[in-house]
Structure 1
Amino acid sequence: MFATNGMLDPEDSVILLIDHQSGLFNTVRDIAIPDLRNYVIAIAKTATMLNIPVITTASVPDGPNGPLIPEVHKYAPHAQYVPRTGQINAWDNPLFVEAIEKTGRKTVIIAGTLTSVCMAFP
């Protein structure tokens, strides 16, 4: 275990990348899309470098929201994708919650595109 001095411990963390989808990126207005994409890539690369588990999910990837941006799994090839079966809120998907619990990690780092919808706690 890393000495964290109050910082995040990579050995006790899991990263959730929720709804980083090409179609949803087009709805973002408070940050430039290339910057948003680069931030997500940085998270994926950091997770890989620090061996932090990554769980991804997408809302209606075959519809207007589009697929996950390919850079997520390119730079975090160890990431586990959990499909959602119609749930908008990722927490409403039991398989998503189970995947998080199975990591045994206590620190959950969450990044999402439309956080008020895709990751509202139940």
Structure 2
Amino acid sequence: MKNLFTPENAAMLLIDHQVGTMKLARSIDRAELIANTRALCRTAAETGMPLVLTSSQETHFQGMLIDDLNEIAPEAYAARVKRPGVVDAWMYDDFKDAVLATGRKKLIMAGLTNDVCTVYPAISAVEDGFEVQVVVDAGGSPTQVADEMACARMSANGVVLTSTNQIMAELATDWSAPAGAAIQGIMYEEILKPLVEED
């Protein structure tokens, strides 16, 4: 496949994976959502990909970013962009500047919720000439209909929709290469292990 996203040409953007917004994602199992988010964060951290984290209104019901992100990527967590309330993170200069500073034109996005926090910056980034893949199962929405409408809107506006395993495989390219082996290990530990080891 041509035009692959790789650890050398893409950046990972995780948007509003906060303790409060996590409760709003009813279109996906919470344990699966957390596992997928952890897998993406670890993939960025362990392959050296630029990782940009952002949160919205931490002192409101949204709360802090989940502890997993601090555990996996403490530097990115400390440098997270704290938005005061701008819904479309791309419209908040500090976030956009942090993304521009990565120097990457290929962006992997995941966020909570897909129908509010992810749909707008994904479309806005495409409008500004970036290639964007949204990892749908590392996000969610309050209802299945809301999630489907967000995905339809993103797809209609040039955003590529993907899943956690799919984007990790694309980033790996070759399981036998050093980066591919590392990503395969993350995928197994965070996502596949319960499936492989179940009776």
Considering the TM-score relative to the shorter chain, is it more than 0.5? yes
Structure 1 range deviating more: 67-76 or 96-105: 67-76
Please list, as runs of the form range in 1=range in 2, the aligned pairs for 1:56-95 lying within 5 A after superposition. 56-79=53-76, 80-95=79-94
Gaps (5+ residues) in structure 1? none
Between Structure 1 and Structure 2, which shows a larger proportion of helix residues? Answer: 2
What is the identity percentage for the equivalent residue pairs of Structure 1 and Structure 2?
A: 34
Task: Give yes or no for contact 1:41–1:72 (8 Å, CA) kept in 2.
Answer: yes
Gaps (5+ residues) in structure 2? 125-199
Give the distance between the partners of 2:71 and 2:4, measured in 1 at CA.
Answer: 27
Task: State the match for 2:104 in structure 1.
Answer: 105
Task: Give yes or no for contact 2:45–2:72 (8 Å, CA) kept in 1.
Answer: yes
Give the distance between the partners of 1:105 and 1:71, measured in 2 at CA.
Answer: 25
Task: Give yes or no for contact 2:58–2:82 (8 Å, CA) kept in 1.
Answer: no
TM-score, normalised to structure 2, is: 0.56
When Rg is computed on C-alpha atoms for both structures, the one with the higher figure is 2
Alpha-carbon spacing, 1:5–1:76, altered in 2? closer, same or farther (3 Å): farther
Q: What is the letter of the counterpart of residue 101 of structure 1?
A: L
Q: What is the letter of the counterpart of residue 90 of structure 1?
A: A
Give 4+ residue runs of structure 1 displaced > 3 Å after superposition: none
Q: Whose RCO is larger (CA < 8 A, sep 6+)?
A: 1
CA shift, 1:5, in A, is: 5.2
Taking only aligned residues, the RMSD between alpha carbons, in angstroms, comes to: 1.6
Question: Deviations along 1:48-97, whole A, 9 cap, x unmatched?
Answer: 11111111111111111111001112112342311112212211201100
Task: State the match for 1:9 in structure 2.
Answer: 6
